Every structure is written in C-alpha cells, then in structure tokens.
Amino acid sequence: MVGRDVSFLNDLKKGDEVYLVTADYKGRKAGKSAFVISRGPKWIWVSVSGVRHGERFQTDNGISEGGSGHRSELWPSEASWGAEVHRKEIWIQFRNAVTAKYDPPVGLTVENIETMAALLNSQC
C-alpha cells in the first residue's frame, strides 16, 4: 500500500459510491461497486447490496478490519484501481528488464542512467 492516495476517504459520507477490491484465497483480486452505509471517526461501513450488513474499513487507510488472509481495500473508482494495477505491472516489467541484463542496453546514456538512479533513490 505504500504510496496509495487515500485522501478520498476523508470526504466519504453515507450513500457515496466506492470501488471495493477483494481477494480470494489465492490472492487473486477483483473489484465491484459498493456504497458507504455508515461512517464514524475510525471506521467506514461499506455494503455491496445496499443493505445494513456490510464490511468495516479503517478511515485512515481504506483497509478492511483484521482477520486472516487477504484484506479488502477501498478505492475511489474502478479507473483508479485499474491505473494502480497497470502501474505495478509496468514496474515489474521494468524491474525484470533491468535485472536480466548485465550491461546497459545500447543507446542508454550515462545521463539517462543517472537520472533513473536519482529518481529511484529519492523514492526509497
């Protein structure tokens, strides 16, 4: 969850639509639309069906309460979750490409390498 923008959680109120991402027992994630049914200072209650029974999420990070296994996450929209999934996929491709090569690719200048190293080091 490092770097995930959760500022939208501060503005949520009863009736607002959110995107609920859950994971199965193997960790495969899928999402669906859900609605806020209640909000307090520590917890946001969300329901898929709109009935009173719902799932409880922390207001500071949008993660479902304890338990074992994979926790559910709240996102502002399907598009924002999709963008994060895409960002992680591209990062994995980039990371694998870098670690698979002993020498830098032809055409990659020292300046390019220094710029990437500075950017990556500033984010760690």
Average pLDDT for runs of 10 along the chain of length 124: 80 95 87 94 89 85 80 94 94 86 85 89 67
pLDDT given at position 50:
62
Judgement on whether residues 66 and 83 belong to the same structural domain of the protein? no
Enclosing domain of residue 72: 1-76
Q: How many residues does the chain have?
A: 124
Number of domains observed in the structure of the chain: 2
Q: Are residues 70 and 83 in the same domain?
A: no
* Whole-model pTM over 0.85: no
Handedness of CA 109, 112, 115, 116 (dihedral sign): negative
* Strand extents, DSSP E, 59-117: 73-75
In which order are the strands placed within the sheet that holds 29-39?
Answer: 55-58, 43-47, 29-39, 17-23, 73-75
Examine the domain organization and report whether 40 and 82 are in the same domain.
Answer: no
In the numeric block, which tokens belong to residue 120? 């990556």
